[in-house]
Amino acid sequence: MADNQDDEYLHIAANALKEIKSGNATAFAPYKYALYGRVLVEKWFELLARLYTSSLPAAVILFAAVLVVYGAFCAGFVRADAEDELNELFVNVESRKDLDYTESFLSGEIGSLEIVLQYRPATRDLNKTNFTQSLLEHVDVVRSVIDLPVRYKGRVYTFYDLCTYGPFPPTTMPDFDRIMNALHVCVMFTVLDCFWEGSFLQNPPSTVVVERPSYCPHMPQFLTWSNFNYQEFIDCLADNANVSGYDPNIIQGLSNLRFDGYLDKPCFSYHQDCPSEVIEPHSNLFREAGVCDGATAASVTPYQLVTGYELADPDTDSLRTFRTNLLLGGTDSVQNNLRSNGIDLTQGDVIGLLNEWKDRMYDHVVDYDEGRVKAYRERPSNDRLYGFTSNFFDNLAEELSVAVPALLITGYVLMIIYCALAFLKFDLVQSRMSAGLVGVFIVILGTAAALGITAAAGVSFSLLTVQVYPFLILGLGVDDMFVIVGTFVEIEKKKGRDAPIKELIKDTMVAVGPSITLTSVTNFAGFLLAYTIPIPIFRFFVIEVAVAIAFNYIGLVIAMPCFLVFDYYRSHGKLMDVLCCIPVWWHSDKDAVANAHVSDKKDASEVGCITYTYRWLSEASREYYSIITMLVAKFYSPFLQNFIVKIFAVIGFFILLAFGIWGCTRITFFARGSDFGIDGSPYIEYADINDAYYISFPFAIVTKSFNYSGLQPQLLEMDQRIRDVDNVLAPSASNGYWIREMIGFYQNLYSSACVFPVGPELKLPAQGLMTGIISVADPSYFANARCDPTTNETCLCSYNLVIIDSYNGENYTIIPPANFYYYLTFWSTLDGVTYGLLGAFLNPAPPQFDPTDFSTVVPASLLLYAQTNFYVFGLAGDTAGIDHIHTINIILDSYIEYGIDAYNLGETAINFATVIGIKERILSASGFIVIACFVTTTLFLMDLHSGVLMGAIVIVNAVEVAGYLAHFRIPLDNFASVVYLAGIAIGVEFTAPLAFYFLKATSDGGEYKSSGWWILKEYGSRNERMHKALVNRFTPIFNGAVTTFIGVMMIYFVPLQFIRSYFIILMIVIVVGLLNGLVFLPVLLSLIGPFAQVQPTFTGTDPSKGVGTTNPLTEEEVEDDEKKKALEASTTFMY
């Protein structure tokens, strides 16, 4: 073997086997066999090195080929699709199927607008003055929103044109239709419906005049909801049937509606038109009332939905906030309503109009609140006003789907500057700044190419693609570049500038190939395993990042060594770094060597502090290729070798681990609402209010296509079980389930016709209605009974409109299955108000008919879609929400065996549903990452001990990062878990290079040691091998951490809270990775690290003279070696 070879010659498995065979080295038997496995891995990287170094033109062509191919992939951008629809991004895959099914039957979403008036905590002791003032102010602002004019395509619209109407179907009574349409009931949920003043929200615009019928002189001349008595109006119609067109069949259905209006409600202010008593409002009034019922039964609102009490202290008088919800109509309903008024808009125009109104309303509420704050600048108000619309998140996603040029430019410029300075030397020939710049360029091109290929494959861009992806990939990609270029510089320094390029590239690729492959594989696996999170925006993101990691790995492994070949020939041709066409004719190795030795013995007072410091660093760094490496070798590594320091390091390791484990017991898995707000926006405070005082949300149980008529007992039982779940409320005054309401209608009809002793004015219409229904639904009954129902009441009343069916030991009143679909048609028309208010959205919709002509009645079709609406309230904490959704899903699943296909619908309910199973997904994905790291390390190093050690470090990283997230109050939700899983993999970059080098490192001597029951030989000192690993790998790892920080630093300036949390997570990953990789792992290796796989044997007395050498170096060789070291030291600025 050649002279003057250091022990790194043995790091290459093929060399080690050759030296073992020749007797110049030895290895413990299992490790000797492992070397044969490592040969296979290293041969692959040797083949790559031969391809790069076959000739300079070949390297240039290969480099250019990578650039051309990656540039071609960038063409995929022409097919890029930016997705900014909230439901398409944030709804999980399974729930997306349910929403698609719903959207196939429902025309347009019903959006909600919430206006929240918040009490500051200081107003715990409410008094009449401030409470009344707040209620009046709430009336003013809600009314201002309702009257808010919005101009769209040349017309002006208000909330009255766009709202969800209280469904009063057309009748044969002209005055009823005229008055009810003019009063124009808009469905809303508001705390004001507990008072007469709530009528102000339903009063028609001042331009609309609603006159009483001339035959009702006792009613006010001009009707508004503030003076309208519905029951008095119905009585007037009945008393004047000859002119009003009074139809008892229709009134039978309308009279079933609990519909009292506002006249019997108390007033909270001394208004001149107040028809009732004036009460002193107090915060417990709403609890006592239970519900606030407004102009329609749809507005019957449980107090929990519109008043916010302290959830932590629910029994105290602790009202903090109240709200009003205004319901906009769906696109089809708004389109039809506008069309009936002579305005013909396309569905796209209607969507645009609704969004325009929502945006205008939000701005109006913000301006209103700012005006209030300014008005109270001398007397601070405790009240604040917040608005929220259903398109808030869509607008947010659209806004953040556009890149911020300043952030992109700043982030990439900082990375370019750092990478350039990292390889800069004063000697413009020996400088490698161009290598750093080219490395960044390869990463940028690979990042763009990955986006292009994923876009061509149909992966949509999202706000994460724009706001996170460019910075994260930049930080991760540059790490491998530092390892490749840094190792090349190190090897060139040790072997000398005259070493052949083939040997330099081969040694570089063999040294770094397995290490960067391991980190790239684990990073790739970490992001790809995050695909288990079933939310599209994250799946898009992790696919894009995983492909980018693969592209950057391939690009750097192929193109970077090719450029180093070119750069090698540039430096040997004495051409300037970066400006490679300019020769440095004044460059002289001899001058550099001479300058390095000038005034070696002078102190700082003689040559100046700066000159002295520079020369000291030059002298000290002759043995090392960077200042950082010198500091590690001179100070840091000896410090870690101290036994006392090791003891404290181990103690510190377990303290931090225990702190992380403790944090894991406090992990939450559901995001706060404020995490989705932009810095400084009112939404953040609104979301905090919502989370603190309401924690309520609507949901619906949707049933699909099956035979409803034969499964009524099961459906009724399922509905009741859902209602029995804690904190579930039905939103109407009735029971709310459409089948139950239909059964109740026919029970009431039978009672009116046959049971209760009522007057003929009610009994005769009920009997006539019942006769007509039976004649259509069961036409053979009267013929078979041979009776006339008009003359034989017993014959009529012997017919059972409803029957009893037994199921699970319980008796259920149901519709006769044979008549079910006929009854559905009758009920939906005759009790149309109740049917409409329930919001069952039956599809196909039951056919409507003329109530005066039953001959046109046809049965309803088999149903494909039906829904029942609920609210859930008081779910304090993410666990309660998850448990609730889980309970509902268990109930629904228990009826699958009967053929009942049902699902839980609702945006907030869907959000909770995405958290179900997240803990299991995170644990399984983390386990796969640990296994991937263990397997890859074991295969590349052929060492089980190293694989176990690396796996253990990954587990420690995972536990500590998760625990520290809890301490920073960052929930490990679907958003954070993406970066968390990737962070586990990223942490490998801070540990793998050091562990790899430690295993292959040798020392200057060997000794025989026993360990446990086995007699094992440990060659050399673990301390010495740890020292060599730190000296050679500390700088690349540290630079990787710095570049990762620079890459992700710009994420902090994205104004969205949950994206900013990504920066915090990655900072925790970097800090934990550095501590474990550069502090605790070296100590761990020095104590229980694996033995060296191979160790040289020394036949001479000076091991430093080379492996297997016996002849000392000559004086000329020593002098030449010192000159080379001095030259390199004098031209080194940074690594």
Q: What is the pLDDT of residue 895?
A: 92
For 1029, residues 6+ apart whose C-beta sits below 8 A from its C-beta are 994, 995, 997, 998, 1001, 1082, 1085
Average pLDDT, the chain: 77
Exposed/middle/buried for residue 779 (C-beta within 10 Å: 0-12, 13-18, 19+):
exposed
- In one letter, which amino acid is 663? G
**Under 8 Å between Cβ of 294 and 283:** no
CA distances from 318 to 41, 133, 385 (A): 69, 18, 19
Q: What is the pLDDT of residue 978?
A: 80
For 768, residues 6+ apart whose C-beta sits below 8 A from its C-beta are 249
| Tally of residues, the chain | 1135
d(CA 629, CA 493): 13
d(CA 245, CA 223): 20
Residues 458, 460, 466, 470, CA torsion sign: negative
**Under 8 Å between Cβ of 627 and 1130:** no
| Per-position b or e across 464-487, b if 16+ CB within 10 A of its CB | bbbbbbbbbbbbbbbbbbbbbbbb
- Rg of the chain over Cα atoms, rounded to whole angstroms, equals 40
Which of 107-121, 587-601, 872-886 has the lowest average pLDDT? 587-601
pLDDT, one tens digit per residue, over 398-444 is 777 676 788 888 888 888 888 888 777 766 777 788 888 888 999 99
Which two three-digit tokens encode residue 553?
A: 């790995």
In this predicted model, which residue has the larger pLDDT, 870 or 764? 870
pLDDT, one tens digit per residue, over 826-852 is 988 887 767 777 778 888 889 988 777
Q: What is the pLDDT of residue 594?
A: 38
Which two three-digit tokens encode residue 591?
A: 């001058």
Which two three-digit tokens encode residue 936?
A: 């890859």
d(CA 668, CA 972): 6
Which of 646-660, 771-785, 816-830, 889-903 has the lowest average pLDDT? 771-785
In this predicted model, which residue has the larger pLDDT, 732 or 1066? 1066
Which residue's structure tokens are 């404290």?
648
Q: Which helix (H) or strand (E) holds 208?
A: none
Q: What is the pLDDT of residue 816?
A: 93
d(CA 409, CA 419): 15
pLDDT, one tens digit per residue, over 330-369 is 787 788 888 877 888 888 888 889 888 888 888 888 888 7
Angle between helices 609-620 and 589-597 (to 10 degrees): 110
d(CA 884, CA 890): 10
**Under 8 Å between Cβ of 813 and 804:** yes
Kindly indicate the confidence band of residue 1023, based on its pLDDT and cuts at 50, 70 and 90.
confident
Is a pLDDT exceeding 70 seen at residue 805?
A: yes
CA 823 from chain centre, in angstroms, equals 46
d(CA 420, CA 336): 65
Instruction: Provide the 3-class DSSP secondary structure of residue 1098.
Output: coil
d(CA 476, CA 527): 12
- In one letter, which amino acid is 373? V
CA 496 from chain centre, in angstroms, equals 52
Which two three-digit tokens encode residue 890?
A: 């268990």
Instruction: Provide the 3-class DSSP secondary structure of residue 307.
Output: strand
User: How many Cα atoms within 13 Å fall on the side-chain side of residue 820?
Assistant: 18
User: How many Cα atoms within 13 Å fall on the side-chain side of residue 16?
Assistant: 27
Residues 677, 682, 685, 688, CA torsion sign: negative
CA 288 from chain centre, in angstroms, equals 40
Average pLDDT (728-736) is: 58
Share of the chain above pLDDT 70, in %: 78
Is a pLDDT exceeding 70 seen at residue 584?
A: no
Kindly indicate the confidence band of residue 731, based on its pLDDT and cuts at 50, 70 and 90.
low
pLDDT, one tens digit per residue, over 194-244 is 888 888 888 777 667 888 998 898 898 888 888 888 778 888 887 887 777
Helices (H) and strands (E) in the chain, counts: 46, 19
CA 798 from chain centre, in angstroms, equals 61
Q: What is the DSSP string of 8-24?
A: GGGGSHHHHHHHHHHTS
pLDDT, one tens digit per residue, over 57-108 is 888 888 888 889 998 988 887 777 766 666 666 666 666 677 777 777 765 5
> What single DSSP character describes residue 790?
T
- pTM score above 0.85: no
Is a pLDDT exceeding 90 seen at residue 629?
A: no
**Under 8 Å between Cβ of 600 and 1129:** no
Q: Max CA-CA distance within the chain? A: 135
d(CA 972, CA 918): 9
Spell out where 879-1006 has E strands. Answer: 902-905
Q: What is the pLDDT of residue 863?
A: 92
